[in-house]
Amino acid sequence: MQTEHYRLFARDGYPLAVTGFRPEQPRYLLLVNAATGVPQRYYKHFAEHAAKRGAWVFTHDYRGMGASQAPDWQGARPRMSDWGRLDLASLIDQMPEDLPLGVLGHSVGGQLPGLADNAGRIQALLGVAAQSGYWRLWPGARQPRLAFNWYVLFPLLARLFGQLPSWAMGGEPLPREVALEWARWCRTPAFISTPEGAPWRPHFADVRAPARFLAISDDHDFGPQRAVEALMTFYDGAQRELMVIDPLDWGLRGLGHFGFFRRDTPAALWDQQLAWLESALGLQPARAVA
């Protein structure tokens, strides 16, 4: 396997940090879209495992985050919607057309394909704890805190500091406009929406591929099952299925929102989902990797 770090210039010229994990004989392409505030390096061990099964894996940092920060950038300030309509779309533009294309989206990464105008190229979509962020989809006991975050705390901090600091939510700091758009979406019943609150679904229906959405049974804080099911309805042209992952079934005390990609996650869990991806792409599932 060969690992390559490089810069990809998005359609508007913004420089994106990308890492490719290329096996000797790639069988398919796999774009890994990160969760909000999570740098691409977090997915390194999963990407290496998938590459051993024949996937040519690409991870990347969204504009304004991690290694994709461009202090000298003279264009528009990054917004969360740009992560889909520009960053992901530009990555899809660059994918070789002689291999089938799968996308794995973690959290927001499972929302972004619906914003890319070339989403029709996606031939399989795996959402890991990918959800609608509308706060009323969470259990009632958690709603007051979420409402405070989206209506008061996060917008206030973003305007005060020019970014959402990492201590406010964990992970990488978020650019100001990213945080403000995210907060607006999470306050709105339609979630991904226009400034007036109308549903904004530019290219969700273009994804007409098999799509599996994983709900993690102990992901109470970031991706409860009801929110995962709500996102599934956005992809009304896809062949959708929901799968609930219970950590106890895998000998784990917990997974939560981020545990699926931890280095110590059972390889059998990764192989289960990668085998589904391979089958959805019309490939013979590879042998499990030790």
Q: Where are the domains of the chain?
A: 2-134+200-280
Q: Work out the angle between the directed axes of helices 176-187 and 154-161 (0-180°, nearest 10).
A: 160
pTM for this model (two decimals) = 0.97
The Cα 275–Cα 245 span in angstroms is 16
Q: How many CB atoms lie within 10 A of CB 10?
A: 20
Reduced to 3 states, what is the DSSP secondary structure of residue 181?
helix
Sheet holding 124-128, edge to edge: 2-9, 15-22, 55-60, 28-33, 101-106, 124-128, 210-216, 239-245
Residue-wise pLDDT tens digits, 245-259 = 999 999 999 999 999
- In the predicted structure, residue 43 carries a pLDDT above the cut 80: yes
Q: How far apart are CA 290 and CA 278, in angstroms?
A: 18
**Comparing 7 with 169, which gets the higher pLDDT?**
7
Question: How much is the pLDDT for 286?
Answer: 84
pLDDT tens figures, 153-166: 999 999 999 999 99
- What is the per-residue pLDDT for 70? 95
Distance between CA atoms of 244 and 242, rounded to whole angstroms? 7
Question: Which residue in 171, 162, 157 sits closest to 66, CA to CA?
Answer: 171
CATH number of 2-134+200-280: 3.40.50.1820
Q: Which long-range contacts (CB under 8 A, 24 or more apart) does 246-250 make?
A: 246/217, 246/218, 247/216, 247/217, 247/218
Q: How much is the mean pLDDT over the chain?
A: 97
Percent of the chain scoring above 90 in pLDDT:
97
